[in-house]
Structure 1
């Protein structure tokens, strides 16, 4: 079922938007942030019922949705949402995927995280191929202001927070042109994959912490090992 859900999304992105990269990325980013909303909804429900409380999970998932929001804002600044048909398709897909992931997360959190691991892995390869094909063109264009604000000039707390397998403040990417922006987005997707893998670890409920948590900063907890080779990781 998980592979079917991902396959439908990949079909829409790869076939319907084959020659329209920015609308393609707009649809991808609209849908990509929805599972994090679903995770947080279920976690808030469990907390309200007194079943389970873990602030770090909520912090990291919110930071992940914040990161995907800025990917979406970048695509909108590039005109990816200019057609109403693209907005309708992206919004409809997001609504469907939200409820599907809510149900999946209630039944099997690990399966829900695996779903997002596959989605983010596909996004990584999509951006990587786009960078290889359009390097010269992208380097000749300026970085959108929203990207500069998110990656360099703004408050970078939220930027650090979604990278749960990295030390806070260890990644400070450059944003000199549009090529740099897409490199950063691609690398963000790799970090999402690592976090989704960490969330699937059998002991994740004990070992998973946000980069800014006091426990993590004191190195009292060792995060589960994650493969560095993203290509191997998402196969």
Structure 2
């Protein structure tokens, strides 16, 4: 999706000096490599991807994605096109504004980005909890994965704070108020069309990948000379990496274990995290497609993730809640 984003959120500048800071499972044999292409204005970046070929809901038996295997009506295709056009317009508009404000302050820019990046996952969980309370939707995997995504983005934010990205009050004020507006917008969007909300998040995550990739390529040598923040070392190399594996739904658990030796490694892993978010958001656009990566190995977990009432969007939920279930009427 990055190919459709033509604007640049962050113009790379000289590396600012950060504030001082002090601080197995065996992978299944049925793995298939797939490359997802994230294209920039002038360069292409390849992100390696791997899926369990049989147990993953992201692929059908012939190797096509679940979305490709579904016959979509011409009307629905037009709706999807409109949704994606609106998302691209919104994303490009925000990109241009932030690019103007943060063209020469990388860490402050990253702080704003990461403050905003957590918001969609909060919004998704809020709506899913509401649906569950009404008996419309109960799917444990969605809540688990979205929480893990928010946990990952929170640590990105902590890293940027330790690097001094939140030093100026204006940056904190701007990021937090944008986040409030973004939360309300995403809740409404997700309630009406989860597909549209997930696509919007995919656009944001795709651009975040490009942003960090540009920064790494421009400042890589300087970053390699700097020590990593302690919060990054603890998060990426700690003993409990369950939530780290959980948000990477295109990978089997324990298949990615980062090394953190310097600041360069930190930004490389943040960039790779954004690519994983992008792939998860793309998978979510096919209704019912998301599954916890930890549930692949244990079939018993499927019953925990089963839904009691399946619906897509609040209109569909209300419609199905007042429609008698033929299986229960007998």
Query: Fold match, TM over 0.5?
Result: yes
Q: CA deviation at 1:2?
A: 1.6
Matched, 1:211 2:293: yes
Out of 254, 260, 263, the residue aligned to residue 169 of structure 1 is 254
Q: Which consecutive residues of structure 1, in runs of 5 or more, have no partner in the other structure?
A: 222-235
* Structure 2 residue aligned with 1:38: 123
* Structure 2 residue aligned with 1:146: 231
Q: Deviations over 1:155-195 (max 9, x none)?
A: 11110010011101110011000000000000000000000
Larger Rg: 2
* Structure 1 residue aligned with 2:147: 62
- Cα separation, partners in 2 of 1:219 and 1:123, compared to 1, 3 Å: farther
* Structure 2 residue aligned with 1:227: none
CA–CA distance in structure 2, aligned partners of residues 7 and 65 of structure 1:
23
For residues 84-163 of structure 1, the aligned pairs below 5 Å read 84-163=169-248
Out of 11, 24, 30, the residue aligned to residue 109 of structure 2 is 24
Aligned residues between the structures: 216
* Structure 1 residue aligned with 2:96: 11
CA–CA distance in structure 2, aligned partners of residues 152 and 38 of structure 1:
29
Which TM-score applies when normalising by structure 1? 0.89
Whether contact under 8 Å (1:13, 1:28) holds in the other structure is no
Q: Deviations over 1:124-172 (max 9, x none)?
A: 0000000000011100000100000000024111100100111011100
Larger proportion of strand? 2
CA–CA distance in structure 2, aligned partners of residues 219 and 135 of structure 1:
43
Q: CA deviation at 1:15?
A: 1.8
CA–CA distance in structure 1, aligned partners of residues 253 and 142 of structure 2:
16
Q: CA deviation at 1:218?
A: 4.3
Q: CA deviation at 1:48?
A: 0.4
* Structure 2 residue aligned with 1:180: 265
Out of 68, 80, 84, the residue aligned to residue 165 of structure 2 is 80
CA–CA distance in structure 2, aligned partners of residues 93 and 5 of structure 1:
13
- Cα separation, partners in 2 of 1:219 and 1:18, compared to 1, 3 Å: farther
CA–CA distance in structure 1, aligned partners of residues 93 and 273 of structure 2:
23
Which aligned segments of 4 or more residues in structure 1 are displaced greater than 4 angstroms?
Answer: 218-221
Helix, strand or coil at the partner of 1:99? helix
For residues 220-235 of structure 1, the aligned pairs below 5 Å read none
For residues 192-207 of structure 1, the aligned pairs below 5 Å read 192-201=277-286, 204-205=287-288, 207=289
Q: CA deviation at 1:4?
A: 2.7
Larger proportion of helix? 1
Q: CA deviation at 1:7?
A: 1.8
Q: CA deviation at 1:9?
A: 2.4
Cα RMSD of the aligned pairs, angstroms, is 1.4
CA–CA distance in structure 2, aligned partners of residues 82 and 157 of structure 1:
32
* Structure 2 residue aligned with 1:225: none
- Cα separation, partners in 2 of 1:16 and 1:109, compared to 1, 3 Å: same
Which TM-score applies when normalising by structure 2? 0.64
